[in-house]
Structure 1
């Protein structure tokens, strides 16, 4: 049987009865130092630990979020959960288990002892800053093979299947050259792989790169994520017109824009992040948007105006309430962009950040239901109308609890991760509903903007 990462610790606020070899126990505070609902970052053997007191009991877990390493001491403690201050990941302070995404790993938990009014925490050499989710101890599923498409939802789906003793074949298919990557980083930073390549070998997950998916109705299937929407105006096939979809796209955009003139089309998350990234690298950056302000539909005009001013101070020029009608070239390469307003902008590179298209074309000959945008219709169990076909993330239209089960299509990393786990549990006939609140973030010129919920505009 192939297992996921084993349980490396116990942590329920109880005192250890002894001390094993190579373990270290340290006195971290007085029992009276914390009141219920309070946290403190402490150290044992130069290792930082988050100490928490709830209902009169102490517990201790890793001090940093398993996603991007944010200090959890700056987060919010509600009941038995601590929420990351950066991106909203949520952890159980008794067990360290991750209970809301983003992030793939749980926190280590440590044994706590209270004696003579002093609080002691015991750690061991195997207790790193992260650990895998504990195995659930369920019976092996009767599924045969599962095919999933590479993305954060698919990775969580595959991991959850293995965590729950699924022994069958798992095939992960991607048209990219890499395993699943952290796509929000494509427009922000490096270090993209969600899991190292040997992870897939260790847990017997087959990885097929540079492959296209076909529909096979008898195979349990997890649908692929969306693809970037390309420009369709005259000249959009010229050399120098780019989209941001893959690691290769990100490299090409960087290499082609350094010291050159760039035009970014689309003033929402991808477009604004790309413009922010290029502001100090390109010779000039122009932004074209069809609204009055960036983020107008998602975050509102006030936030849009503020972010627009931030980028303008970094020499980004905005053409708002406008659009591209033609891209002109010379010798097959981009030379200038013609806008609806009549403005002509000289440029070497055009980057489109104008949304995504659901990757549902391969279902055309199937009976899987899609909506008017070609998003795959699923229920709260991540099921399509066809048995054994599941969907998650930005390719789907699903009922959102906080919108009274109104169907929505949301392309958030955090929500896709939750979808992936719920889909896997329902493949195993667990009957678990999705009940997650959307959370999203963006980083512009080093400033972070975060929001939770869903804007119906």
Structure 2
């Protein structure tokens, strides 16, 4: 018998290698539905889009899978899971398992409006998507980005730096509203605006207009017509839960799991973007990040090999936009006390979130020491001199209350 992993993204690949690192000796099958060897996803919305000859950045070379005796199957979309007989089916071929790991990821939300199927309308999830986009905008002078989340802003920034005129529409009132504080949203918007990117907030696209089968513009519900040569749809993602639902797993905006990646079925696990994990306060959260994919992969491997579970780190995220690096640690809250540290000369910026006197989260832009300070404080549960956090005259090490 064996472990079967459905999904060959960061989570699926890392759980396979983590199992081998933890001395799991039985067969491991990784079933990926793409043709490429598993690759890194973050470059797809950044460097891949503007490369002359885009190439995927592989997580591991082919030899690494052979060396660890990990059986990687590409172009292997799963059609059925037979829980009664512990089998997974791919194009008629059956894979038997002791443990089944769902690492099915998430898919971009679609925009189902008139004109959304025109040539020149793109979304990005896979390397093939990014390659098609790169090839399809060779002569584009104008780009419309629908959605001002992290992916939308990364795409906008990448094309802006290539001299393309970029406009971003957002149905909400500000950018990155789902995960970022209003302070960070406003600061990041100002950076993009200063670089020539236009924004339309509280703006819903009503229809996409085309000429000769190719996109030429988009009309907002306000009536405004935005002319463009290409459109990228970046309105968030939905977890891939179809297989989980087919076998009766508990699903609610993601595959529900415990902290140890276990699902409602004893030998089935869910990790990465498709999973929505329980928190200590009985709430649940679905995190989309490389850190979460790698962390849940290792927890799952420890669980299967019956080893001590690694301690979960405070969640952290990052994003590259224009020449700026954004790093966030912790889960922000609208109810937190927020303190700003801003270095105008360096254009570096940080928002510190406090609740009940403790540092809850930090959002930083080109302020790596602030980010590392926040991670250290939260990891060790240190106390901070909140009244001095905003002062550039006080070094980060001097903000920690001596024990």
Under a length normalisation based on structure 1, what TM-score does the superposition of the two structures give? 0.65
| Distance in 1 between residues matched to 2:167 and 2:57, nearest whole Å | 27
Q: Which residue of 2 aligns with 1:392?
A: 271
Measured after TM superposition, the shift of residue 383 of structure 1 is: 0.5
Measured after TM superposition, the shift of residue 433 of structure 1 is 6.3
Distance in 1 between the 2:233 and 2:23 partners? Answer: 43
Inter-partner Cα distance in structure 2 for 1:400 and 1:411: 15
Secondary structure, counterpart of 2:246 in structure 1: coil
Tell me the distance in 2 between the aligned counterparts of 1:313 and 1:424.
46
Tell me, yes or no, if the aligned pair for 2:100 and 2:269 is still in contact at 8 Å: yes
CA RMSD of aligned residues (A): 1.8
SS in 2 for 1:364: helix
Q: Which sections of structure 1, spanning at least 5 residues, go unmatched?
A: 1-142
Q: Is residue 288–residue 319 contact of structure 1 (8 Å, CA) maintained in 2?
A: yes
Looking at structure 2, the residues matched to 446 and 259 of structure 1 have their Cα atoms a distance apart, in angstroms, of 24
Q: Could you tell me whether the CA contact under 8 Å between 1:259 and 1:281 is conserved in 2?
A: no
Following superposition, the deviation at residue 440 of structure 1 comes to 0.5
Q: Distance in 1 between matches of 2:277 and 2:177?
A: 24
State the partner residue of 2:388. Answer: none
Q: CA 1:435 to 1:283, structure 2 compared with 1: closer, same or farther past 3 Å? A: closer
d(CA) in 2 for partners of 1:319 and 1:161? 47
2:331 corresponds to: 454
CA–CA distance in structure 2, aligned partners of residues 296 and 394 of structure 1: 19
The structure in which a higher percent of residues are helix is 2
How far residue 306 of structure 1 moved from its aligned partner, in angstroms, is 1.6
Following TM superposition, by how much is the alpha carbon of 1:215 offset from its aligned partner in structure 2, in angstroms?
A: 1.9
Larger radius of gyration: 1
Alignment of 1:10-159 (within 5 A): 144-159=2-17
Distance 1:283 1:444, change over 3 A: closer
> Residue 64 of structure 2: which of 193, 199, 208 is its match?
199
Q: What is the aligned partner in structure 1 of residue 122 from structure 2?
A: 242
The corresponding residue for 1:376 is 255
- Please point out which of 194, 219, 244 is paired with 1:338: 219
Aligned to 2:367: none
Looking at structure 2, the residues matched to 249 and 256 of structure 1 have their Cα atoms a distance apart, in angstroms, of 10
Cα distance in 2, alignment partners of residues 306 and 437 from structure 1: 24
In 1: Cα distance, 2:263 partner to 2:333 partner: 24
Q: Distance in 2 between matches of 1:181 and 1:148?
A: 16
Q: Where do 5+ consecutive residues of structure 2 fail to align?
A: 49-55, 87-96, 335-403
Q: TM-score, normalised by structure 2?
A: 0.73
Aligned to 2:146: 265
Say if 2:7 and 2:33, in contact at 8 Å, map to a contact too.
no
Deviation per CA, 1:274-333, whole angstroms, max 9, x where unpaired?
000000325321101122221233222221122112112222111111111111112221
Contact 1:287/1:319 (<8 A) preserved:
yes
Seen in structure 2, the aligned counterparts of structure 1 residues 227 and 422 have a Cα distance that, compared at 3 Å, is same
Residue 380 of structure 1 contacts residue 434 of structure 1 at CA under 8 Å; is this kept in 2? Answer: no
**Partner residue, 1:131:** none
The alignment status of 1:356 with 2:214, answered yes or no, reads no
Give the equivalent residue in structure 1 for 2:349.
Answer: none
Shift in CA distance, 395/254, structure 1 to aligned 2, threshold 3 Å: same
Choose the corresponding residue for 2:304, options 427, 450, 456. 427
- Describe the superposition over 1:353-391 as per-residue Cα deviations: whole angstroms up to 9, x where unpaired: 1111111112333111101x2x10000110101121101
Distance 2:277 2:74 in 1: 28
Identify if the C-alpha distance between structure 1 residues 391 and 421 changes in structure 2 by more than 3 Å, giving closer, same or farther: same
CA contact (8 A) 2:244 2:255 kept: no
Residue 215 of structure 1, aligned match among 59, 63, 81: 81
Deviates more, 1:251-260 or 1:159-168: 251-260
Deviation, structure 1 residue 434: 5.7
